[in-house]
Structure 1
Amino acid sequence: MEDNFSQVALLYELSLTNVKHRNPEDIAGNFIRKILSRKALNYGAVWLKDVEKEGVVHFSSLYAMPVTWEAVDTTQQRIDQLFKEGNLALTTESFFFGKELTGHFAYFRLLDIGILELYSSNDAEKLCEDSVYPLLDVVQQLAATIESGFAFKKLKDEIGHRKRAEKYQKNSEEKYRKIIDNIHLGLMEVDNDEKVLFANESFLRLTGYKLDDIISKRASDIFLQPDATQAREQLKEEHKKRLNGVSSFYELPIIDKEGNEKWAMVSGAPIKDGTDQVVGSIGIHLDITEKKERELSERKLLAKLAEQNQKLNEHQSYLNAINDFATRLIKAQGIESIAKEITENVVKQFRFTDCMVYLVDDDKKSLTQVSSYGVDNKKGILKKPVSIPIGKGIPGQVAKTGIPEIVNDTSNEPRYLHDGGGLSELAVPIITDGEIVGVIDTEHSDKGYYTDKHQETLTTIANLTATKIKNALIRKRSKRAEKALLESESKFRSIIDSALDAVVTINMAGDVTEWNPHAEVLFGYSKEEALGRPLYSLIIPHHYRKAHTEGITRFKKTGETRVSNKRIEITALHKDGNEFPIELSIKPVTIGGRTFFSAFARDITQRKQAEEDMKMALEQQRELNKMKSQFVAMTSHEFRTPLTTIQTNIELLAFRLEKEELAAKEKIEKSLDRINSEATRLTVLMNEILLMGKIESGNIPFHPVPTNIHELVKEVIDQSFSNQRDGREVAIKMVGKERDIRIDPNIYTHVITNLVSNAFKYSPEAGNPELHLIFHREHLEMRIKDCGMGIPKADIPKLFNSFFRAMNVGNIQGSGLGLAIVKEFIDLHKGTIDITSEMDVGTTFIIDQPYSGASAN
C-alpha cells in the first residue's frame, strides 16, 4: 500500500507542475519520462491521447496498478492467469471515472512513450473508452477514493517534500541556466535526427540566429554550405559516433545567418535518457575563425615563399643554361654550327624531347630545316630537310606572325604537320632588326609541358642567336652572290657574244666599252677598231650626231633621257659609208657608281621593205573592198528598184484579177504568185548581201542594252511564226532563274528569226521546233532544236561560210548567207554558236551568250 501512495503522489505532483509548464507539449514528455524513471511503475498509468494548452490532458482511461506486477511477462500468459496467482488488482469500480465496468478487472502496461494498453481480465481485449479529464481532477478523485484506506496525511507530506525538492531543483536549474547563457562557449542540443532542441546565447551570437529561427530544424541544413560535401560527410561520421554513445572532438566550418563562413572547434557528447538510451547530443562550440584565418594566411604565405624559392631556383638554372649556351655560341660561325648549338643545347639543358631550327628562304615564302636534335636523333643527323610554307603548321604560323606559340596537345591541333600527336609543342621566332629570319621549334612527349618560363627562355636564346644567324646568312648569301655574279658574267658574256643583235656599250664620255661579234658584222668595224673610240665617229650619221651629244649632256645634268627604255627606228652608218635602217633600244646601266649606256641594234632593212610591200598590199585591199562595197551597194540598189516595180505591178494585176472575170484567172494567179515569190526571194537575197557588206565594212549599228530575252523571244515568235500553214508552233522552254542580258534587241531579233525560220524550213512535216532558254550563273544558253533532215557531218565546219549550203538541202530555197550573218552577230556580242546534228533526227544550234554582252560600237 505504501507504493500506491507513491503512485498517487507522483500523479498529483505532475498535475501541479505540468499545468503551468510554458510549453504544454512538454507535459506529456515529462510525465512519461518521470513514469519511466520509476522502476516500480512498469504497469499502470495512462493511455495518452492528446495535450491541449493550459495543462489539459486527454486520456482514454486512468489506472493505478500494484507494483507486484513488475516482473510479470504478460506476453507469455493470459491476463486472467495473473490474477489467479494472487496478484493484487484494483477493480474498475474504484478507479474508472465516467463509466462503470462492474465485475471487470482491468490493467494496462506501457508499450512505448505515451502509449499504454488497457486489458480486461475476462477476455484480455483492449478497452479504448474516450474521455477528457483535467489531470488535477483525476488525481484528486484518485486521492479521495483511496483516502478511507490510507492515511492521506502521508500523501500530503509526500507532496510537500516533493514541492520543496522541486523548488530546490528549480533554483538549481535557474542558476545553471544563467551559467549556460552567459558562458562564452556556444552550446547546442539536437535530437537523433539532428533537429535543434536548444541553443544558448553564445551560440546564437556566433551564428547570428534567434532561437525560434533554428528550433526543430536540421542543424546541417542551417549551418553548412549546400556544396560543403566534405563537411557534411564529417558531420555524418560524428553523428554516428553520438548514436553509438561516443564523444568526440573536431573542427568544423559553419556559416552564419548572413552566409559568412566561420570555423568552430566542437566537443560533442551523447545525451541519454533514464533507460540509458541515446536521445540526442550536445555540442560545445568554440569560435576559432580568427585562428583558422591566421593558419590559412600562414599556409598561403609559406606556399608563396616556396613557390618564389622554386622560381628563383628555376630562374638560376635557366640563367646558368643560357650563360653556358652563350659561351658555346661565341665559337660557332657558320649557319649549320650555330643551328646545331641551339638544337643540341636546348634538348640537353632543358630536357625537351627534340628541337629543330628553321630559316626563312630567300623568297620569303617558306621555311627550311637546317638542324634537328632529340632523344631519337642524338647525332643530330639531318637526313632530309623539311620545308614548310610560311603560314602553314605551327612553325609556319609563328614565322608569319612573329608571335611565340605554345600548343599543349598536338593531337587536338589541326595545324600539326607530323604523323601521330599527343605531344606539346613550343615555337618562337628568331627576329633581328624587325625581320623574321627563322623559327626555333621544340616538342615534349608530355602534354601541357611547356610554361611561360620555357617560352621566355627560348625567346632569350632566339634573341641571342638572331644577330649571329643574320650575319652568317649575309656572309653565306654574299658568297653565293659572288659566285652567282661570276656565273652571271660568264653567262652574260656568252649571251652577248652569241646575240643576234649588235650590242654596243658606251661610257658617259660617249666612248665605246663593249662591241660584240654581231656589231662587227652589222657595222663593219672589228672589236679592236671600235673599243675606246667615240661612238658618233663610227656609226652615227652626221644629221644625228648633234642630238646624240646633246642627249648625253642632258643625262649628265638631269639623269633623264628621251630615248632610253624604248624601241626606236633610226638609220646608222656602215664602215663603207652606207646608211641603213636599224631598230635601236638604249638602257642606262650603273655599275660601281659609274653609268654606262648599252645599245641593242638590229638591221631592219628587210623588215622595212616587207612593211612597204605590205602597206601597198593593204592599200590595194582597201581599194578592192571599197570597190566591192560600192558594187554591192550599187547592185542592191539597181536590183531593188526593178524588183520593187515588179512586186508593185504584181499587186496591181492581182487587184484587177479580182475585179475582172477571166477564163484563165486561176492560172494567171498561180503565175503571179510564182513571180511574187521569186521577187521576194531576190529581195531577201539583196538585203542579206547588203547586210553582209555592212558587216564587212563595220557599218552595222550596235547598241546593246539590258534586255528581257524571254519577252524578246516570245515577241519574235508571236510576230513571225504564230500562223504556220502546217499548224506547227514553237515550243519555248525556260530553265533557271530568269535575268536580263545585255544585247542589241534588233540584232538578236534577226538571229532568232533566222534560226527559227531554218528550224521550220528544214524539218517539213516533222514535230514542233523547240527553243530553250537556260540561265546559267555566268551566261545564257539558247538552244534552237528541230526534228528535221539533219546536216551531213562533213558540212558542219563550213556551215557559217558565206554562200555555203549543205549538200542535202535539195530544192529548199536559201542564199547561204543567213548563218554567216548569224555568226557575225553572235561574235559581235562576244558569244559563241555551235551545232550538233544527226542525219534524219534533227539539228540543234547552241548559243552561249555572256550576260554582260559587249560594249556599243
Structure 2
Amino acid sequence: APIKDSDGGVSGAVIVFRDVTERSQLESARRRSEQLLTDFFENAAIGLHWVSPDGKVIRVNRAELRLLGYAEEEYVGRPVSDFHADPAVIEDILARLARGETLQSYEARLRCKDGSIKYVLITSNVLWEDGQFIHSRCFTRDITAQKLAQMALQEAERRKSAILNAALDAIITMDHQGKVTDFNPAAEKIFGYERGNAVNRLLENLIVPQRLRQQHREGLERLLVTGESKILGKRIEMSALHADGSEFPVELSVIRIEGSDPPSFTATLRDIREAKKLQASQARLAAIVEYSDDGIVGKTLDGIVTSWNDAAQRIFGYSAEEMIGRSITTIIPVDRHAEETMILSRLRSGERIEHFDTVRVTKGGQLLQVSITSSPIRDSSGNIIGASKIVRDVTERKRVESALREADRRKDEFLATLAHEMRNPLAPILSAAKIVESPLASAEQKQRATQMIARQVGQMALLLNDLLDISRITLGKVTLRKERVDLQALIATAVETSRPLIEANHHTLDIDLPHERLELEVDRLRISQVLANLLTNSAKYTNQGGRIELRTTLRDNELVISVKDNGIGISADKIHSIFEMFSQVDSAIDRAQGGLGIGLSLVRGIVQLHGGSVTAHSEGLGCGSEFVVRLPRSIVTSVINAP
C-alpha cells in the first residue's frame, strides 16, 4: 500500500508478503481430484447419471449413453422417468432416495432409443449438503443378457412343469443311482404313489416287478460303465408294478438328459392296458371281418369303397385292390342305382338299414340275390363319417325258399288230388252197395255190384299202399325182403299189373330181354312195383294207340332197365324235379288221368334202397319220355345162357 507525507504526497510504500504455497497445492489437488472424478465418471465401464431434486437428468456418462443409444443432448435435461419402462418403479426409486435411503442393486427396466428394453441393476444414493438434496448419483449395470437367460430358463421350467403336469403319460426322472428325482401327476395316477413318497426312492423298488429288478440293475450298471444300453432311446413293452402289488403292461422309453454329469435319465411310461384290450378287440374284429362268410364293406358317405374283405371278393369276384377307391355302384345293376341314393340318404340321417333284400351284380355279370345290412360309422364326437355294409349272398336261400313254396304248392295240389282220388270210388261203391241190399236186384246185378265194390276198394288200397310206402321210405323205415328171383318173372308181374291200362288205351308194348336168363337178389314186390309204376305212367301219359318199349341190358357193372314211350313228353323245366314228392308233369293232365304224383318219388326211393339210380330223359313236350333204372351188377346172382 502507498505511504503518504503530510502534504499528501507518496513518500513510500508498505509491502506485505503472505506464504500461499499450501493453498496453491490444495487448488491443484482439487483440480486433479475433479479431473479424476470426471475421468472416472466419463470412462466408467458401467452407466452413471445424476438426477436433480426435481427428477431431471443433470449429468450422464458415455457408458450409459452407449447402453441406451442416446446422444448426451437427448438425455440430459429430461425427466429420468422418460427412460424407465415401468412408471411405478421410478416413482419408488425417487421416493426412497428423497427419504435418504441408499439403493443397492435395485432391478429396473430402461427403455432404449430404439424402443428396446434393457434390464439393469441400479445402485444409488443422494449427495446432501447442509441437509440440502443436491443430486442423486446412480450406477446402472446392464444385466439384460443374464436376465433374458434367466427368463428363458424360467420359461423352460414353466413349460417343463406344464408338460409334466398335463402329460397323460408317466414321466419320471432318476439320477445315476436309480433314485427318483421327479414324479409327475400322471405317474402318481398310473402307479399309485404320491410324488412325495416316490422322490429319493429307488425306481426299481417302486415300479419294477421283483423278477425284473436284477435285470434293471445290471442294465443301469452297464450304461454307467460302458455307455451302452439295450433300451436307451427305444420304445419297449414291459410289465410294471402298481403300488397295490398288481402288474400291468406299459410302453417304456428312456433318454439320457443332455449335459447331465453324473448322468440322469427321463423315463416315459404309458399304461397300455386299454390299448392291449383295444388291440385284442380289433384283432377279433379283424378276424371276424376277414373270415366271415358275409361280405363286409366300408364306404364313405359318397359311396366310395374304403374296405373290402375276402368274403366280398368271393361273392362279387372283385379283389380289394380293384374295389377300394371305386364307387359301390360298380356292383349295383344300373336299374337299381336309385337304391344306393336312398340308402346313403338314410345313413346320413343316422338310420341303420337291416336285411334289405335286393339284387347285385358280380364281376362276371351274374346277378345275385343279396341281403344287405348297412350301419352308419361315427367318429369319437358322434359325427357320421362313413358306413359299413354287410352283404349276404341269399341266392341259394331264395332258391330254397322258392323250392319250399313250390313243394308247398305241390302238397296242396296233392291233397286236392288225394281227396279227389279217394272220393271218386265212393259214389260207385255206394251205388253198388244199394244194389246188393235191394231185394229187387237180380243175382247177376248183385254179382256185378259186388265185383265193382271189389275193384274200387282195390284201387283205394293201391292208393293207400303207395302213400304208406312213400312215407316209410321218407322216414327210412322200409326193410327190403330180398330173395332170388328171375328177371323175366319180375317183368311179367309188372306187365300183368299194368296191362289193363295199356290195353284200354290200345298201346303196343315191346319187351326186349337179354338172351341170358338172369337171376336177381332183390325185393320181388318192390322191384315189380317200380316197373309197374313206370309202365303205368307210360300208358297213362301216352295218347291212345301209342308205343311203349321195355328193354333190359346187362353191362359189366350194372343192370339197365329202360321204359320208353312216344307220349306227351316232359318239359325241360320239369325234368329235374319229376322225381320230387308230389311232382306232376301237368296237374290238369294228372287229375284227368288219375294219380297222386308220388309214383316216381316212390320209384326213386325203392331203386336207391337197392343201391341204384333212376333218371328221366325227354326232348320236350310231345317228344315222348324214357326212364332208365340202373341197378348195381352185384344184385345179379346168376346168368344162365339160353339153350
TM-score of the pair, normalised by structure 2: 0.30
Structure of higher RCO (CA pairs closer than 8 Å, 6+ residues apart) = 2
